[in-house]
Amino acid sequence: MFPGFFEWIWDGGHMLFMGALWYALSIIGMGLTFCLIKSAIETQQGKGSHHGDGHGHH
């Protein structure tokens, strides 16, 4: 899975397969992180809080 493991060979197969995997994982990870951070900032700025007020709890 990582370079350095004894199964790892520096060949096209490993680089292509693992490259695609880590590429997909980083897109997912970065997308999720972006959303989390943006949401945290927006929440801090008070955005979206009107949804919590006014309606009250039943």
Partner 1 sequence: MDSALIPEGVKRCSFGKFMVFISIVSAVLLWGVYAMLLCWLKGLNQTNMNDYYGFALWIWADLAVIALGGGAFFSGFLKYLVGKDELKNIINYAVLIGFICYSSALLILAIDIGQPLRGWFIFWHANVHSMLTEVAFCLSCYFGVLCIEYIPLVLENRQLNKVPFFHNFAHNLHEIMAVFAATGAFLSFFHQGSLGGVAGVLFGRPFAYREGVFVWPWTFFLFTWSAAAFGPCFTLSLTKLLEKISGKKLVKDNVIELLAKISGWMIFTYTIAKIADTYYWAVVTAPGKGQTLMEFYTGNAFYGIWILVLEVIIGGLIPGLILITNKGRKNKYLLTTAIILACIGVSVNRWVMVLQVMAVPVMPFDTWALYYPSWQEVATTILPVAYGVLLIGISYRYMPIFPQERELNPID
Q: What residue type is assigned to position 30 of the chain?
A: M
For residues 53 and 46, the answer to whether their CB atoms sit within 8 Å is: no
Helix (H) or strand (E) holding 32: helix 12-44
Q: Which chain residues interact with partner 1 by CB under 8 A?
A: 1, 5, 7, 13-14, 17-18, 20-21, 24-25, 27-28, 31-32, 34-36, 38-40, 42-43, 46-49, 51-52, 55, 57-58
Give the pair of three-digit tokens for residue 6.
């004894």
Q: Nearest approach, Cβ of 11 to partner 1 (angstroms)?
A: 9
Q: Nearest approach, Cβ of 42 to partner 1 (angstroms)?
A: 5
